[in-house]
Structure 1
Amino acid sequence: MPLNTTVGMEKIEEHFAKLSVARRSAATKEPTYLLDIDTSKNVQEESGCIVAVSCSNGSIRLYNKETLSLLRELNKQPGFFNGVKFSHSNPHVFSACTDGTVKCWDMRLSGKTPVQMFKGYPSNVLISFDINCNDHIICAGTEKFGEDAVMIFWDGRMSSQSTGPFRPPLGVYSETHSDDITKVRFHPTDPNILLSGSTDGLMNVFDISIDNEDEALIATCNSGSSVSYVGWAGKKYKEVYCLTHDEGFCWWDLTNLDSDQPIPCLKIPDVRRMIKVQNGNLDYMIGGIYHEKADQLLVVGGSNTGTIHFITSGLSGLKYMKSLEGGHSAIVRSFSWNTQDDSLLTGGEDAQLLLWKPGATERSLAKKDRMKIASSLHKRVKVHSHDSYKSKKKYI
């Protein structure tokens, strides 16, 4: 975990202090929660990047990043979308669905039907997914069904040799989690390293280049609670962290996995109890941002009235840094940090997509009231199972 130098912290605080709303998406016919956001990495419209948003009404909306104008809406399909992710190298956007498929859409087309579907096994309900950095492998995590919660793998490369409407799995991991697999995240630069989190309380790190699941398991990190969010941080991304459904935070340093040295670890059962924000309340945690330029991990939380709170993390613990107010009017569920221009996209239960930039001035638009939606969302908050899970690998 990076030490919080005065110069580095001053730069981060100065930058976030200047963030203000630059654009706000226009109202849509159907109010909906904005659950997940991703920005295109290589494909642009004539006037800028494309932003994909997964919505609670079962659709994916595509926006122009600079204007937040709605470009098109990918057709609703049976099932509920869980997450949205752009390809790293081609004009495709993916989303996992509760119908047991990962759908691939070509942004150059109308969006009436996906160009490829990756199908799981019967009874699979996909609740998390990711694509590795070279676009070769897709991984999805499932809800627990019976005694099984599995991670499914597909070959993500588009091929003219593919037969039929569905791409079958390459295989599964079925032994390393005992409950819903809420998050899977590939390493940002190593296509073979995968991180997973589950309501069983565990975060697992795998090397998927190893054929055997047991041998592929590099480390198991026990958060002691139901995991809601996982991420990578640190120089060369040698650190992992998670948030829990009871608003806890855990961090591990994986640098010394092959040695007998103790691995630094930070565990905070409830961030809300130890952090006092400047205005309002810290009601829930959203996720994390690793600020590469400053080598600093920021934990992101929010208030029920729409304020966003940023908290710095270090060896000494967590420290409140800055709040963003005047944007959202309800719970913020999703965000996307752009390392190219240090801008921030946020979405929430007020059905708004916001673009924040340093020193921006927003056009005069009325802030929406909280949307009173009979949401179909089901929060995956479970009582943590205290059944012990034994691994042959290093248990942190």
Structure 2
Amino acid sequence: MDVATLTKTSSLLLPTGSYIYKIVPVEQHLAAISSDDSLRLVDPTYLQELSSPRFSQVHAGVTCLETVAHDNHALCTAGRDAVAKCWDLRSGQTTAEFRDESKAPFLSLCNSDYHCVVGTELSHYQASVVLWDFRSPLRPIQQYVESHNDDVTVVQFHPEKRGILLSGSTDGLVNIYDMAQPAEDDALIQVANHGSSINHANFLSNSQFFAISHDENFSIYQLENVDESAAEAPRVFGDLRPQLECEYIVDVIPSLDSGETILGAGSHSKQHLDLTPLRFANNQWALDTNNALRLPGAHGEEIVRSLCFNPEAQTIFTAGEDGLIGAWLRAAAAGGNSQEHMLEADAYTIPSSSKKKKKRNSAGGEGMKASRFKPY
């Protein structure tokens, strides 16, 4: 296993006890959201906050941060105040706001060239996936309110077919929607019953998607009707903790170009973070633990919340519940076995029930109730 070297850390002068929830690369900078409800731009070379622009409190309970697909000078955030916002990085001002009449807290966020989508917390016996058009942000164009019966923790667009949307929930389901269909029953084209509360889910390729639950069980699923052939059975890895000698999964960062995905697996008791490649070879996905990259020390006994890559500088950035951002440089591999592919992953991205209809399940029996495992 190769080892990365910590080159610098920064607290960003956050209040004592603050967590950093997420970091993303934007333009030539890093952006970070934290538990003091701030949005900060950071110089990645020195890990210092930029003096301009300055952002006021972005939400009353910020939860999400994403880059904006159609604007390199913008970021999108969402919060427990049931608002999603787009921010202009040059002026520090909001350019659009998205609100939902239910006022349920927003827990997940994604966007495409034309659409902004959020997933909500369960509120008044309803958990929703809400869609807006960027060109008409005043009211949603669609809401899926019957497809999940608990908090919607993940929403993601298909990397090429932008009319295909994925959502994951603490009800254990990963849903696939065709946004071109106006009725929710018709829009819901596939349901994978993962069996426990969804923490991470995304597309691995044009025809496959994955899910990792809060109890770290990992499976890869085939999109149905992609080539009109019968869907393959899921590739079930099971609990990743004994396989990767970890206690939690930080993030899963797909790279459609390289055909390789990176799993960030952390251990707060052993104080390290491992970046393990997931590769597709011989018609099967497999974890390449022999070529994992270890970040020793990581964020000490605190949980690592987010990571992203700068492939050009061969630098890895991490952020955690200690309120710090760390910059790591990949050390030369022993014996000349270089880890150049480790930093090729693209950081695009890169946390009671209602009456429910029957679902078409691609895994598990029809209508099978998902077992529950709440996040820490």
Q: Above 0.5 in TM-score?
A: yes
- Per the TM alignment, residue 197 of structure 1 is displaced from its structure 2 partner at its CA by 0.4
Q: Does 1:92 align with 2:77?
A: no
Alignment of 1:375-386 (within 5 A): none
Letter in 1 for 2:41: L
Letter in 1 for 2:63: N
- Per the TM alignment, residue 80 of structure 1 is displaced from its structure 2 partner at its CA by 0.7
Alignment of 1:54-65 (within 5 A): 54-65=33-44
* CA–CA distance in structure 2, aligned partners of residues 223 and 181 of structure 1: 14
Aligned to 1:79: 60
- Which string of whole-angstrom CA distances, capped at 9 and with x for unpartnered residues, describes residues 11-49 of structure 1? xx7xxx364334432551413211112212xxx4xxxx1
Equivalent residue for 1:323, pick from 290, 294, 310: 294
Letter in 1 for 2:5: S
Inter-CA distance 388–208: structure 2 relative to 1 (3 Å threshold): closer
Aligned to 2:275: 310
Letter in 1 for 2:107: I
Alignment of 1:1-396 (within 5 A): 17=2, 19-31=4-16, 32-40=18-26, 44=27, 49-72=28-51, 73-90=54-71, 91-109=73-91, 111=92, 114-132=94-112, 134=113, 136-157=114-135, 167-234=138-205, 237-254=206-223, 257=226, 259=228, 261-276=230-245, 282-304=246-268, 306-313=271-278, 315=284, 318-320=287-289, 321-329=292-300, 330-338=302-310, 343-359=315-331, 390-392=358-360
Residues paired across the two proteins, number = 333
* CA–CA distance in structure 1, aligned partners of residues 12 and 110 of structure 2: 30
Q: Is the 8 A contact 1:266 1:317 kept in 2?
A: no
Unpaired runs of at least 5, structure 2: 333-350, 365-376
Q: TM-score, normalised by structure 2?
A: 0.79
Q: Is the 8 A contact 2:128 2:144 kept in 1?
A: yes
- Which string of whole-angstrom CA distances, capped at 9 and with x for unpartnered residues, describes residues 351-375 of structure 1? 1112334349xxxxxxxxxxxxxxx
* CA–CA distance in structure 2, aligned partners of residues 233 and 105 of structure 1: 29
Q: Is the 8 A contact 2:3 2:294 kept in 1?
A: no
- Per the TM alignment, residue 114 of structure 1 is displaced from its structure 2 partner at its CA by 2.7
Q: Is the 8 A contact 1:218 1:393 kept in 2?
A: no
- Per the TM alignment, residue 346 of structure 1 is displaced from its structure 2 partner at its CA by 1.1
| Percentage of matched positions with identical amino acids | 27
- Which string of whole-angstrom CA distances, capped at 9 and with x for unpartnered residues, describes residues 121-152 of structure 1? 133111111111x2x10000001112211111
Inter-CA distance 340–83: structure 2 relative to 1 (3 Å threshold): farther
Q: Secondary structure at the match of 2:176?
A: strand
- Which string of whole-angstrom CA distances, capped at 9 and with x for unpartnered residues, describes residues 85-134 of structure 1? 1213322211011111101211111x3x53321111133111111111x2
- Per the TM alignment, residue 77 of structure 1 is displaced from its structure 2 partner at its CA by 4.5
* CA–CA distance in structure 2, aligned partners of residues 262 and 26 of structure 1: 47
Letter in 2 for 1:152: V
* CA–CA distance in structure 2, aligned partners of residues 339 and 214 of structure 1: 42
* CA–CA distance in structure 2, aligned partners of residues 316 and 392 of structure 1: 25
Q: Is the 8 A contact 1:142 1:149 kept in 2?
A: yes
Inter-CA distance 29–347: structure 2 relative to 1 (3 Å threshold): closer
Letter in 2 for 1:261: A
Q: Which segment is superposed worse, 176-185 or 60-69? A: 60-69
Q: Is the 8 A contact 2:3 2:295 kept in 1?
A: no
Q: Is the 8 A contact 2:177 2:189 kept in 1?
A: yes
Inter-CA distance 198–208: structure 2 relative to 1 (3 Å threshold): same
- Which string of whole-angstrom CA distances, capped at 9 and with x for unpartnered residues, describes residues 249-291 of structure 1? 1211226555453414122442113334xxxxx1111121224
Letter in 2 for 1:307: H
Letter in 2 for 1:140: V
- Which string of whole-angstrom CA distances, capped at 9 and with x for unpartnered residues, describes residues 55-103 of structure 1? 0111111112333220155211452111111213322211011111101
Inter-CA distance 18–294: structure 2 relative to 1 (3 Å threshold): farther
Q: Is the 8 A contact 2:6 2:295 kept in 1?
A: no
Q: Is the 8 A contact 1:257 1:394 kept in 2?
A: no
